[in-house]
Amino acid sequence: MVVGMTILAAPTLAAEDATRLYAEHCAACHGGDRLGAIGPALLPENLGRLRKAEAEKVIAQGRDATQMPGHADKLSPEQIKVLAEYVYTPLAAVPSWGMAEIKASHVVSVDPAGLPARPQWTTDPLNLFTVVETGDHHVTILDGDSFKPLARFASRFALHGGAKYSPDGRFVYLASRDGWITKYDLYTLQIVAEIRAGVNTRNVAVSHDGRFLMVGNMLPHTLVALDARDLSPLQVIPVVGDEKATSRVSAVYTAPPRSSFVVALKDILEVWEIPYADDAGPVMNGFVHSYEKGLEEGISPGGRFQAIRIRTPDYLDDFFFDRTYERVMGASRDGKKGLVVDLDIKRKIAEIDLPGMPHLGSGIIFRKDGRDYMATPHLKEAVISIIDMETWKTVKRIPTLGPGFFMRSHENTGYAWIDVSMGKEKDAIQIIDLNAMEIARTLRPAPGRTTAHAEFDRSGKHVLISVMEADGELIVFDAERFEVVARMPMKRPVGKYNVFNKINYSSGTSH
Ligand code: HEC
């Protein structure tokens, strides 16, 4: 057999062989620079979640029902190993993805100015859900009244869950692992525009006035501002701290009352705030000056978006805001505590007792006896922590069946729904009575299957849960009786996002 002979002739393969093999067999689809083409980018940063052994299997056998062909008939097992090794090797230099590359990727499919003013269907436009299915890279637009799909379309490869909406709920913005931003019109059920804003992207935030998008990248170390109308790029903001140290972005958030984006950074000890209001002027000494005052003092604006840099005593990856958005909680990198940073005072104002890697990004706020409490799951501890938002004291730790990822509630319910999918009992969903601060019920709607990510409908009467498997499903529960009312098959539905709850910044859901 030819393959066997190749192995005998070349028992060890050098790096040049990997480059040559890649150019010959892979570059046409994954790009000569490995930044992706019709196939996804093959970089260690992007492959993060795929294990090396799994990558070898994909290279050898291909992926069913996709354009990824198997190579076992063309390449020896050793050559496949070498290629897997190669795609996990970082590029020699940070890939260049600046304004020129971003602009060149821009596709406008529909003139946004020519779109009809009303939905082309009849159902409650604010009770739609965008369901991200990563099993076969599709998105389902689900009618939240009838639980029937309005549309299902192919998405970019590996969307991150968090769909974002325009303030009126008409448009949904999606971000993919490889940096593609998609604008989709829910009224006419079609893609309006797409642009590749980075090589590896964390997420996108939409300004509360609907005018701007801010994209946070891991590769390169940039933030990219886009015009929300057609996704035209407005500004590339390099993420640079003191002494030219650059940083990956871990997330961008919108702070509506402040008219600003707030940015969590992975590699420098800072939080950034980027004002977007028209009267936000240039930044000096960490403060925004009015545009006129800035000109008087000779500060050059240098682009519409300017970052106010706030120093933090620890790396803060994951954020949670209080109702005013003046205070932001972050989890420390070592996973032992939380910090509260005041964006006006511009420094840390409190520490919170929060061991076990809190997943603040999916925390919720609820009111009890006239006080605001915050509840958060932990990625490494089987507990839900409840924090008093005035004193920043942890008032209760509710033991759960395992560490969890998501938590959801709604203004019209007294319950919060959590998963415990980071532990062994991946099929359990637990319901917390927020008044009693206790577990009220444990459900196992799909025994033995990973079940997570609860999301309420507009009214708070129904809860949707994902069975996150390749042949998974969405399960709809009555939110008061905890009974199943509908089930529908889906391909690994990782996240679902209700228009109304999102555009109203419901305190029971992530923003
Ligand atoms: C004909 C086009 C094509 C060729 C040739 C090709 N790929 Fe792919 N590859 C794809 C597509 C499309 C996907 C995405 C499949 C999916 O949807 O899961 C993919 C997926 C992959 C993945 C999984 C990525 C992930 O994040 O899950 C790896 C690894 C991979 N390819 C490596 C290779 C290597 C190495 C070669 C060369 C030996 C190669 N591919 C050749 C099109 C191709």
Residue 34 CA to ligand 1 centre (angstroms)? 11
Contact in structure between 417 and 454 (CB atoms under 8 Å): yes
Domains present along the chain, CATH in parentheses: 2-87 (1.10.760.10), 359-511 (2.130.10.10)
What is the atom index within ligand 1 of the atom nearest the CA of 46? Answer: 26
Ligand 1: residues with CB < 6 A are 25-26, 28-30, 38-40, 42, 47, 50, 55, 58-59, 63, 66-69, 71, 83, 87, 137, 157
Residue 39 CA to ligand 1 centre (angstroms)? 6
pLDDT at position 12 is 57
pLDDT at position 9 is 44
What is the atom index within ligand 1 of the atom nearest the CA of 74? Answer: 38
What is the atom index within ligand 1 of the atom nearest the CA of 157? Answer: 17
| Beta-carbon contacts of residue 503 (< 8 Å; ≥ 6 apart) | 126, 165, 166, 167, 168, 169
| Beta-carbon contacts of residue 403 (< 8 Å; ≥ 6 apart) | 356, 377, 378, 379, 380, 381, 382, 383, 420, 422, 423
Q: What is the helix, strand, coil percentage profile of the chain, to 5?
A: 15, 40, 45
The helix/strand/coil state of 247 is: coil
Residue 73 CA to ligand 1 centre (angstroms)? 16
By most ligand atoms within 8 Å of CB, the mutation choice from 50, 58, 157 for ligand 1 is 58
Residue nearest to atom 9 of ligand 1 (CA): 68
∠ CA 487-491-493, rounded to 5°: 70
∠ CA 243-247-250, rounded to 5°: 150
What is the atom index within ligand 1 of the atom nearest the CA of 86? Answer: 35
What is the Cα–Cα distance from 88 to 63, expressed in whole angstroms? 19
pLDDT at position 134 is 94
Beta-strand pair 429-433/415-419:
antiparallel
∠ CA 221-223-227, rounded to 5°: 150
Residue nearest to atom 7 of ligand 1 (CA): 68
Residue nearest to atom 16 of ligand 1 (CA): 66
Residue 251 CA to ligand 1 centre (angstroms)? 27
Rounded to a whole number of angstroms, the CA Rg of the chain reads 24
What is the atom index within ligand 1 of the atom nearest the CA of 137? Answer: 17
Residue nearest to atom 43 of ligand 1 (CA): 68
By most ligand atoms within 8 Å of CB, the mutation choice from 17, 24, 29, 49 for ligand 1 is 29
Residue nearest to atom 19 of ligand 1 (CA): 68
What is the Cα–Cα distance from 361 to 321, expressed in whole angstroms? 9
Residue 244 CA to ligand 1 centre (angstroms)? 36
CB neighbourhood size of 346 (10 A): 15
What is the Cα–Cα distance from 220 to 46, expressed in whole angstroms? 12
| Beta-carbon contacts of residue 40 (< 8 Å; ≥ 6 apart) | 30, 46, 157, 158, 177, 178
Residue nearest to atom 30 of ligand 1 (CA): 59
| Beta-carbon contacts of residue 49 (< 8 Å; ≥ 6 apart) | none
pLDDT at position 92 is 87
The helix/strand/coil state of 479 is: coil
Residue nearest to atom 39 of ligand 1 (CA): 26
pLDDT at position 11 is 46
Contact in structure between 159 and 134 (CB atoms under 8 Å): yes
Residue nearest to atom 29 of ligand 1 (CA): 55
What is the Cα–Cα distance from 249 to 444, expressed in whole angstroms? 36
Tokens of residue 453, six digits: 């990510």
Contact in structure between 407 and 377 (CB atoms under 8 Å): yes
Handedness of CA 283, 285, 290, 296 (dihedral sign): negative
The helix/strand/coil state of 244 is: helix
| Beta-carbon contacts of residue 379 (< 8 Å; ≥ 6 apart) | 356, 357, 358, 359, 403, 404, 405, 422
pLDDT at position 439 is 98
Residue 194 CA to ligand 1 centre (angstroms)? 22
What is the atom index within ligand 1 of the atom nearest the CA of 84? Answer: 35
What is the Cα–Cα distance from 44 to 50, expressed in whole angstroms? 9
By most ligand atoms within 8 Å of CB, the mutation choice from 26, 42, 68, 133 for ligand 1 is 68
Residue nearest to atom 27 of ligand 1 (CA): 50
What is the Cα–Cα distance from 383 to 402, expressed in whole angstroms? 7
Residue 70 CA to ligand 1 centre (angstroms)? 9
What is the Cα–Cα distance from 60 to 82, expressed in whole angstroms? 12
Residue 43 CA to ligand 1 centre (angstroms)? 12
pLDDT at position 294 is 52
Extract the residue ranges of the chain whose pLDDT is less than 50.
1-11, 300-301
